[in-house]
Amino acid sequence: MTFKKIIVKSLLVPMVCAGMAIVATGCSDDDNVTETYSVETVETMPEGVPAGYTVISGQLACEELNTGKSYTFILPLANGLRVPAGTYNMSATMTVTYPGNDAEHSFRAVVSQQVVSAQQHSVTLAWFHYNPGNTLVFGEIYFAGSPNATGTNGLYDTYFTVYNNSDEVQYADGLAIVESKFVNTTTDRILTEANRREANFTVQTVYVIPGSGRDVAVSPGESIKIADQAIDWSAQVGGALDHTDADFEWYDEVTTGTIRDTDNPAVPNLDKWFSYSKTVWLPSNQCNRSYALVRFPEGMTAEKFLSERNGEYQYVNAATGKTLNGTNAYLIDYAWIIDGVNLCTTEDFTETALSARIDAGYAAISDKKADKKRFGRKLVRKRAGVSAEGNTVLMDTDNSASDFEVVSVK
């Protein structure tokens, strides 16, 4: 065990020196002593963060990629950052308060492949907002689908992934995937207090990943793929996707009717707690609704949810001015949401169905509504870097506008 004292010169953060615990882990190989350097940390904060904030707590983990040694520092750094020469993946989290306000805000920063040497001893920590509870997040969202055989419409080779954005194993079973009742292009005025976007998230479908709570493990940096129809679409239409590797599919048993689903026996199905439609659930093909991953409180069952969380509401129809009833709606408490994404096309956006607390912006697949160019395009969460544990960290600033980018599926 070696204790290393580190001096840090911070440029941006006013350092509050506290009785510092300096933690160093690993490294027992002292035969090969390398030079250590004091690393200058340059920190950048997201826009809108007032100067003079106070760091309440924080941690910076550095992993040297060649030796596998890791070093952890408590933030604010009391004595600066001092590490041996090497190549590092760094990840940092911190909680701060703004002047004159007790509310805590969390930030995260990751740096990958940072070289520390005689020539290079400065590192930039680009802090971004993050929600420590967002361990599982939407990684990719593909709701527009690939072009169908005539290119006139989108196929339902739609899917999304749930990504483990933390450094610990997370369990996805019991997690619900919900779709908003309200379209993000609506101009209707919601009258019922409980359905206002600041109060609750009003949803029209509730699908739940089956399991007892410890069945669907998602390793850090890994994701699970959930598809509408877990089939090899590429065998059907050229350029479409192969979803036989999906972890789950949502199978909508249509007892009788014209539009039916397929059920791949090798791919487990999601539990369907509620859906407004008796046929198949098609996520917003025009990508203008909101979605959330929900972790229900302990003891929540489908029956309990259905009887307690009914969210029928009244609204004023913008076109006619008429006060109407909205049905087939259920309410999700924001405290249960671990990640949420608003989707909308730029030209039609009015307001988000999710509160800004969950998602301050929206991800756009295209500017125009029903733009055929959206086919074959997916929304992918941007890569923020690699954590000290070597896991890819995706941008999760709780603002989909900056977290997601449009990528072609090809």
Cβ distance to another protein smaller for residue 115 or 306 = 306
The yes or no reply on residue 255 touching another protein (CB under 8 A) is yes
* Span near another protein by CB under 8 A; candidates 23-31, 103-111, 305-313, 398-406: 305-313
* Cα–Cα dist 311/289, whole Å: 17
> Which residue of 97, 148, 234, 402 would you call a contact of another protein, by CB under 8 A?
148
**Which DSSP category does 235 fall into?**
G
Cβ distance to another protein smaller for residue 107 or 250 = 250
* Cα–Cα dist 46/396, whole Å: 12
**Using CA atoms in the order 372, 376, 381, 387, what is the torsion angle rounded to 10 degrees?**
-160
75 CB neighbour count, 10 Å cutoff: 24
Handedness of CA 406, 407, 409, 410 (dihedral sign): positive
Cβ distance to another protein smaller for residue 97 or 148 = 148
* Span near another protein by CB under 8 A; candidates 41-49, 79-87, 142-150, 355-363: 142-150
> Which residue of 7, 42, 115, 306 would you call a contact of another protein, by CB under 8 A?
306
The yes or no reply on residue 258 touching another protein (CB under 8 A) is yes
189 near 315, Cβ under 8 Å? yes
Strand 377-381 to strand 223-227: parallel, antiparallel, or no bridges (unpaired)?
unpaired
For the bound state, the minimum distance from the C-beta of residue 219 to another protein, rounded and expressed in Å, comes to: 24
* Cα–Cα dist 250/264, whole Å: 10
* Cα–Cα dist 255/258, whole Å: 10
Cβ distance to another protein smaller for residue 62 or 144 = 144
Cβ distance to another protein smaller for residue 171 or 313 = 313
Handedness of CA 190, 131, 337, 349 (dihedral sign): positive
The yes or no reply on residue 275 touching another protein (CB under 8 A) is yes
3 near 63, Cβ under 8 Å? no
> Which residue of 5, 9, 214, 260 would you call a contact of another protein, by CB under 8 A?
260
Residues 18-47 that bind another protein (CB under 8 A): none
Tokens at 267, concatenated: 């791919």
Supply angle C-alpha 402, 406, 409, rounded to 5: 145
* Cα–Cα dist 13/11, whole Å: 6
Residue 180: phi and psi, rounded to 5, are -65, 150
For the bound state, the minimum distance from the C-beta of residue 39 to another protein, rounded and expressed in Å, comes to: 51
Total of chain residues touching another protein, rule CB under 8 A: 60
The yes or no reply on residue 299 touching another protein (CB under 8 A) is no
* Cα–Cα dist 147/280, whole Å: 19
36's enclosing H/E stretch is strand 36-44
Tokens at 86, concatenated: 């090497």
The yes or no reply on residue 278 touching another protein (CB under 8 A) is yes
The yes or no reply on residue 188 touching another protein (CB under 8 A) is no
Q: How many CA atoms lie within 13 A of 373 on its CB side?
A: 10
For the bound state, the minimum distance from the C-beta of residue 114 to another protein, rounded and expressed in Å, comes to: 43
For the bound state, the minimum distance from the C-beta of residue 250 to another protein, rounded and expressed in Å, comes to: 11
> Which residue of 23, 262, 357, 407 would you call a contact of another protein, by CB under 8 A?
262
> Which residue of 264, 350, 351, 401 would you call a contact of another protein, by CB under 8 A?
264
Cβ distance to another protein smaller for residue 117 or 327 = 327
Give me the 65-84 binding string for another protein, x by CB under 8 A, dash otherwise.
--------------------
* Cα–Cα dist 268/280, whole Å: 17
For the bound state, the minimum distance from the C-beta of residue 275 to another protein, rounded and expressed in Å, comes to: 4
Q: Which of 138, 158, 140, 139 is nearest to 375 (CA)?
A: 158
> Which residue of 120, 219, 277, 346 would you call a contact of another protein, by CB under 8 A?
277
Handedness of CA 228, 231, 235, 239 (dihedral sign): positive
Give me the 225-254 binding string for another protein, x by CB under 8 A, dash otherwise.
---xxxxx--xxx------x------xxxx
> Which residue of 36, 59, 79, 153 would you call a contact of another protein, by CB under 8 A?
153
Tokens at 261, concatenated: 């689903």
* Span near another protein by CB under 8 A; candidates 107-115, 167-175, 267-275, 401-409: 267-275
> Which residue of 120, 219, 314, 346 would you call a contact of another protein, by CB under 8 A?
314
Contact footprint for another protein (CB under 8 A) = 145, 148-156, 228-232, 235-237, 244, 251-256, 258-266, 271-278, 280, 302-303, 306-307, 310, 312, 314, 316, 319-325, 327-328
